[in-house]
Structure 1
Amino acid sequence: MKNSLIQKYNVAGPRYTSYPTVPYWDETDFSYKIWTETLKKSFVESNNVEGISLYIHLPFCESLCTFCGCNKRITKNHSLENPYIGAVLKEWSIYCKIIGEKPVIKEIHLGGGTPTFFSPKNLEDLINGIFKSATKAANYEFSFEGHPNNTSYEHLQKLYDLGFRRVSFGVQDYSAKVQKAIHREQPFHNVAKVTFWAREIGYTSIGHDIIFGLPFQEVNDVIDTIEKTKSLQPDRLAFYSYAHVPWIKGNGQRGFKDEDIPKDDQKRLLYETGKQLLFENGYYEIGMDHFALATDSLYKAFQDGELHRNFMGYSSSKTQLMIGLGVSSISDSWYSFAQNVKNLEDYYQILEWDKLPVYRGHLLTDEDLIIRKHILNLMCQFETSWSDATTYFNEIPEIILQLKEMENDGLLIFGEKSLTVTDAGKPHVRNICMAFDLRLVRKAPETTLFSMTI
């Protein structure tokens, strides 16, 4: 039965870090003026209530990992660090001028690329530069992504001193064969070292990112990776499905053949094996592909119904306004999305003109805002409801009919005016969200846009 369901529901679909998803943004109704107006509106509504979030994209990597779909610039030239930080701080200064008040920052996340490509001193200059025109919220949460091969004790100590308490390390898989295929060779010793350092310094949430479905990966590789992970006891884990989308990512994902990648039942076995081992070792499933110990803030947020999801992934707290700084970053005012240019030289040039480097976006309609709530509910709490006027929309009866087969397959349960995803349905939550995705339903993609749901 399980195998037949895998075959049945393994289709291309979004990961829903946003709604509408990026390929379905309506750029014709978007403008620079609209972005700044919704930005100011959201800031007024949220700054003194919850503060704002900052995502800062640091794009440089010394080598190319062939599983990665992030926007990056491969280089060993560290003289690029200072100009880039100067540009990010200029972008921030333009935002502060538009806002007109001193922002209260609740969340900062440094992503990449490889944030630890930058020296501890330059990261310090970046964060101190941000707070020349901002203040910290009382319950702020700062996090960053660290590469186990180049994260130093000084990196960890400096960022801790600047207020960072969360760090996630990219592990992927410990198999030498898999690591060679994805061009991410890092011994267990390196991961253990940075994990112990972070715990010694005082980080309260240490995360590891693991991927299933990588080229040449077998069940024993997943078992070995989870066993090694168990010995380090990270507070939270992202156990991601490898998204093979070489038509989007170009040559970076052509370092191995398509037939080298586990598919369908074989890939699902990797996930089910890893998930069961995580359960046995005290981890709880939190949202899609995420697990946490009961002591971690992500688990507590899930239990309290406060888990949130945005372009940075899952978060234990919500902010209405998230500003993305740096090349390719996406911002979210709740009412609209805006994405920065992806080319580094274009990013620098536009900032020279004293303009935000935004090149596209989407203004959310009233319908979008309702659908967004349902998809967030499903992705964060595995349930949603349309019991009042603010959550009901005319297509609900059609969605119920569309999902009846998934109900018959035991993947969800309908209440009188609600839907709950069962344990069996959690691996298929993306499929359930797709039924609510009216933009996708009304216009199926003519070309392959998304990775497979399983």
Structure 2
Amino acid sequence: MKPDLTQKYNVAAPRYTSYPTMPYWDVDNFNIAGWESSVKASFEESNEKEGVSIYVHLPFCESLCTYCGCNTRITKNHAVELPYIQAVLKEWQMYRALMGHKPYIRELHLGGGTPTFFSAENLKMLISGLLEDAYVHPQAEFSFEAHPGNTTSAHLQTLYDLGFRRLSLGIQDFDPAVQLIINRHQTLDQVRDVTYAARKIGYTSINYDLIYGLPLQTLNGLVNTMHLVSELVPDRIAFYSYAHVPWIKPGQRKFTEADLPDATTKAKLYEVGRSLLKNYGYVEVGMDHFALPNDQLVTAEKNGDLHRNFMGYTHQHTQLLVGLGVSSIGDYWYAFAQNEKKLEDYLKAIELGVLPIAKGHLLTDADLAIRKHILEIMCTGKTSWNHHIEPFDELITGIERLEPLAQDGLIELCSWGITVTDTGRRFLRNICMALDARLWADKPATQLFSMAI
């Protein structure tokens, strides 16, 4: 990568799991009636054809990983499990009332927090309750995130019996110095044991999460981590940038900016890691994701079927994503909504029998058009437009902002669309940002997002 491009494009940029991005949701014009209409419309349009996705946020962790940007509640008190599961199931019943008839569950993902904080028995109660009075889509895929240090054979077997076939293990880095400063401890043996046990049971896809740019991370340490990972041959690897946002996550103040690699070193960490993954036989998919050549993500990208939502990349498309649990975000295509971020507020709303929505956004026609283009760029590396069908000033000015990126070789730009170049794959966030009408209409006075590099 050219050093001048690294320096030029290392700016604060969204990750674009949604458009508009959350800081630019028009919360003042959001209303529950409009949101309910979006849920019902999206469900009727897509349920029988695609099915729906469900994301369940399970926030509890026994210790705080200081790098983490997720919404968590740190506790060793496992008595919190059952009341929380009961609340999530009650929330799901509220959605079921909105839907009116049985949903086809296409995707189900447990994230956190640490889903394996919950006992296998309680997870069975949760999943059984979600699937009760619902159809399981013939192409359904269930997945969960797990900590290698507390995932038991009972977790693996119980969830497998309930239909789970995908498992994601958070590793981040095997370097002991890095693990110590980020307070994330798992050994190679623990990762190997969970991986082998899952495969023996019958899991067909195992993902490892790795992060570059962590405090005290070195090139030698990253190379060693990559080597150890390659020997275990996970089906997928998410290799993404550490997001340093201590103004949002105070736990990140356990270390300072002086402990972090500078921008040049961080870019080199990425390039070395990316090169190693390709040498190990992995194919780059979208942004920050790698998979073995026969993986469904690779096939989906080749066929133009790759999709991206708040759960990440998937080879299946669903128009409706229901977010359950504290701080969870739902995507109803014509609207977004996020639940209460404070656990007590979430539980209180459920107790009162109301959906625990804290804020949301109703998409305009211009939002939907720009969203389509950003999604296509993130998933296919290209997009096309029709000025007669999409006569939005926001899109026209966004196309004008793409011209300097074309001059830098990040994209090929023509009158009807763009194609991302191989160089540009590293700068997908920057390319999408050029089209982000809401960001450019109200540029932030303070930093809202992590750095692109």
**Shared fold, TM over 0.5:** yes
User: Given residue 288 of structure 2, which amino acid in structure 1 is its aligned partner?
Assistant: D
> Take 1:333 and 1:396, find their aligned partners in 2: how far apart are those partners?
23
Aligned to 1:376: 375
> Take 1:388 and 1:398, find their aligned partners in 2: how far apart are those partners?
12
> Take 1:392 and 1:180, find their aligned partners in 2: how far apart are those partners?
53
Deviation at 1:393, TM superposition (A): 3.3
**1:258-297 aligned within 5 A:** 258-297=257-296
Aligned to 2:411: 412
Deviation at 1:387, TM superposition (A): 3.6
* Range that drifts further, 386-395 or 425-434: 386-395
Deviations 1:406-452 (A, max 9, x none): 21221111134110111111111100101100001111011110000
> Take 1:308 and 1:208, find their aligned partners in 2: how far apart are those partners?
20
User: Given residue 254 of structure 1, which amino acid in structure 2 is its aligned partner?
Assistant: R
Deviation at 1:94, TM superposition (A): 1.1
SS in structure 1 at match of 2:208: strand
> Take 2:329 and 2:388, find their aligned partners in 1: how far apart are those partners?
30
For the 8 Å contact 1:96–1:133, the answer to whether it is kept is no
**1:180-191 aligned within 5 A:** 180-191=180-191
> Take 2:349 and 2:400, find their aligned partners in 1: how far apart are those partners?
49
Deviation at 1:398, TM superposition (A): 3.2
Aligned to 2:354: 355
For the 8 Å contact 2:366–2:394, the answer to whether it is kept is no
- In structure 2, do the counterparts of structure 1 residues 95 and 396 end up closer, same or farther at CA, with 3 Å as the change threshold? closer
> Take 1:428 and 1:33, find their aligned partners in 2: how far apart are those partners?
38
For the 8 Å contact 2:50–2:318, the answer to whether it is kept is yes
Aligned to 1:177: 177
Count residues in correspondence: 453
**1:380-399 aligned within 5 A:** 380-387=379-386, 389-391=388-390, 393-399=392-398
User: Given residue 46 of structure 1, which amino acid in structure 2 is its aligned partner?
Assistant: S
Deviation at 1:394, TM superposition (A): 3.2
List runs of 5+ in structure 1 lacking aligned partners. none
For the 8 Å contact 1:112–1:145, the answer to whether it is kept is yes
**1:6-155 aligned within 5 A:** 6-155=6-155
> Take 1:437 and 1:115, find their aligned partners in 2: how far apart are those partners?
34
Aligned to 2:324: 325
Deviation at 1:89, TM superposition (A): 0.4
Aligned to 1:160: 160
Deviations 1:359-405 (A, max 9, x none): 11000000000000000011111111114644563344433432222
SS in structure 1 at match of 2:247: helix
> Take 1:16 and 1:76, find their aligned partners in 2: how far apart are those partners?
34
* Range that drifts further, 358-367 or 414-423: 414-423
> Take 1:236 and 1:391, find their aligned partners in 2: how far apart are those partners?
37
> Take 1:68 and 1:314, find their aligned partners in 2: how far apart are those partners?
20
Deviation at 1:313, TM superposition (A): 1.1
Query: Alignment identity in percent?
Result: 57
Deviation at 1:255, TM superposition (A): 1.2
> Take 1:316 and 1:392, find their aligned partners in 2: how far apart are those partners?
31
SS in structure 1 at match of 2:33: helix
> What TM-score results when the alignment is normalised by the length of structure 1?
0.98
SS in structure 2 at match of 1:271: helix
User: Given residue 273 of structure 2, which amino acid in structure 1 is its aligned partner?
Assistant: G
Deviation at 1:10, TM superposition (A): 0.4
For the 8 Å contact 1:235–1:295, the answer to whether it is kept is no
> Take 2:398 and 2:387, find their aligned partners in 1: how far apart are those partners?
17
For the 8 Å contact 1:385–1:391, the answer to whether it is kept is no
> Take 1:398 and 1:95, find their aligned partners in 2: how far apart are those partners?
39
- In structure 2, do the counterparts of structure 1 residues 35 and 278 end up closer, same or farther at CA, with 3 Å as the change threshold? same
> Take 2:39 and 2:415, find their aligned partners in 1: how far apart are those partners?
38
SS in structure 2 at match of 1:246: coil
User: Given residue 209 of structure 1, which amino acid in structure 2 is its aligned partner?
Assistant: D
SS in structure 2 at match of 1:86: helix
> What TM-score results when the alignment is normalised by the length of structure 2?
0.98
For the 8 Å contact 1:246–1:254, the answer to whether it is kept is yes
List runs of 5+ in structure 2 lacking aligned partners. none
For the 8 Å contact 2:398–2:436, the answer to whether it is kept is no
Deviation at 1:88, TM superposition (A): 0.4
Deviations 1:190-224 (A, max 9, x none): 11111111111111110000000000101111111
User: Given residue 259 of structure 2, which amino acid in structure 1 is its aligned partner?
Assistant: D
> Take 2:391 and 2:408, find their aligned partners in 1: how far apart are those partners?
25
For the 8 Å contact 2:370–2:395, the answer to whether it is kept is no
Deviation at 1:296, TM superposition (A): 1.3
Q: CA RMSD in A?
A: 1.2
Deviations 1:135-157 (A, max 9, x none): 10110011100100001111111
Aligned to 1:312: 311
> Take 2:170 and 2:188, find their aligned partners in 1: how far apart are those partners?
12
SS in structure 2 at match of 1:140: strand
